[in-house]
Amino acid sequence: MKYRDFGKTGIKVSEIGFGTWPIGGNSHGMSYGPTDDKVSTDALNRALDLGINFFDTADVYGWGHAESLLGKCFRGKRDRIILAAKVGADFYQGQGFQTFTPEYISFALDKTLGRLRTDYLDVYQLHNPPLKLLNNPAIYEKLKELKREGKIRSWGVSVFSDVEGIAAINVGQPDCIQIAYNIFSFRPSEKLFPLANEKGCAIIARECLANGFLTGKYKNSNLVRFAAGDMRRSWPPEYIRARIEATERLQFLVREKQTMGQAALRFALGESAVSTALAGMKLPEQVDENVEACLESLSEEELKHLTELQLTGFKKELPI
């Protein structure tokens, strides 16, 4: 495993980060299907054994279940891990609520710390607040206070778009920004990443495997069926088909010692602004495959072909 600076915080994080959304399970929907807690725990332990130290979670993942699994699994190992959590998806009121008041942040943090069995977080992030709030300096004050108190070591914002990330950096000066970044969603590298580098703001790249499609697992959109509780179950068939067809045009990335998923992670890690590339993992064998992605980089020829595909909307046929 290789490690990178987490912006200017002084924290060192593994290039591959463990995204815990999937292990939250599908009891409350909006996840990635059913899980087995024993298998999830095996995957967490395997990740730690292979050098992954960055574990990204959120209280809404399984409505606290992912956090509880982390707390139980890593009890007595706190000094070996970097815990990143999120706040704002107010599941205490039910599905779909968002709350970012100072009082709620304090309440939710205490609940998160209890489930994680720790008295501090390494990273605490606002969980996808709207742009209007990101442009209000007051939203960041509670996080700055918690950092001064030592309850969190650093703080940041998880966003949907590069516009939101740029606003957060310019207004709040966070320690990190989390954003989707992958072969399909590559726009953040154009303006957001250079600004983050300039300001010493770490980038947590999420959805590096494009919700599983960049693993190459899905071959025929007519045969794809997602389980109840899997957020992809409601996706339009034409969207699923487009993702599968785009992935098929990336077959030139698959080689003897490189799977499609590894190539996708290597693409994300090719950006110097990225401190860690998150991959959602439920199985120990997924951990094994993903960890190998940090061993080498994509070739110049592979990157050239990727750029051509991105510029043509993944519609150009390229030689295999």
Instruction: Please check whether residue 146 is in contact with residue 175, taking contact to mean a CB–CB distance below 8 angstroms.
Output: no
Q: What is the pLDDT of residue 208?
A: 97
Asked whether the whole model's pTM tops 0.85, one would answer yes
The segments of the chain whose pLDDT lies below 70 read: 316-320
Q: Which CATH architecture has domain 3-240+253-297?
A: Alpha-Beta Barrel (3.20)
Structure-block tokens of residue 69: 């699994």
Q: What is the pLDDT of residue 95?
A: 81
Q: What is the pLDDT of residue 317?
A: 55
Domain definitions of the chain by residue range: 3-240+253-297
Q: What is the pLDDT of residue 319?
A: 47
Measured CA distances, 118 to 114, 184, 228, 312 (Å): 7, 37, 33, 48
Structure-block tokens of residue 260: 């499609």
